[in-house]
Amino acid sequence: MTNLDAEALCRQLAEQIRPHLTPETALVGIHTGGLWLAERLHRELGIGPPLGAIDVSFYRDDYASKGLHASPQRTGIPFNVDGAPVILVDDVLYTGRTTRAALNELFDFGRPASVELAVLVDRGNRELPIAARYCAFTLPEALPRDQNLELQRDDGGRLCLALTQTQR
């Protein structure tokens, strides 16, 4: 896999989204990397409604087998979801299970007019029929299942992508 410039991909993703925004469009980031990306997009695109954040820990279909994430985060949707066009933001699209969990949680807050998915990278190996409307980069070949592609953020807020081995 070639080195991916997360900062450049973020700018590219913003430009994909920009023509489709309305004054009512709201962003919801999925903790953790998706929220970092959503914060950046929210600021860069000048989106009006406040930024929402979702932690899918309790909505995952593997919750019973894996247990609770070590440090669950707070979910906060500070806008009226009913009738709102929502863009759900995540860093890396993999199996689709995180997106499914986020959709389930989002609908607990109301019924949006539409939900679109924006991701920085699609790494392949989907297990559910989930696809991103906005995607800055799709890997030409799916990553092996024992590798993770993670969005990281340094103390200065700079984003980077790192390839790591899956912890078993």
Q: Residue 164: CA atoms inside 13 Å, Cβ hemisphere, count?
A: 11
Render pLDDT for 87-127 as a digit per residue (tens, 0 to 9): 999 999 999 999 999 999 999 999 999 999 999 999 999 99
- DSSP letter at 50 equals P
Each residue of 38-72: b (16+ CB within 10 Å) or e? bbbbbeebebebebbbbbbbebbeeeeeeeeeeee
Render pLDDT for 29-43 as a digit per residue (tens, 0 to 9): 999 999 999 999 999
Q: Which range (34-38, 50-54, 71-75) has the least confidence?
A: 71-75
CATH class of domain segment(s) 6-56+80-165: alpha beta
d(CA 156, CA 55): 24
pTM: 0.92
- Are 123 and 92 in contact by the 8 Å Cβ rule? The answer is yes
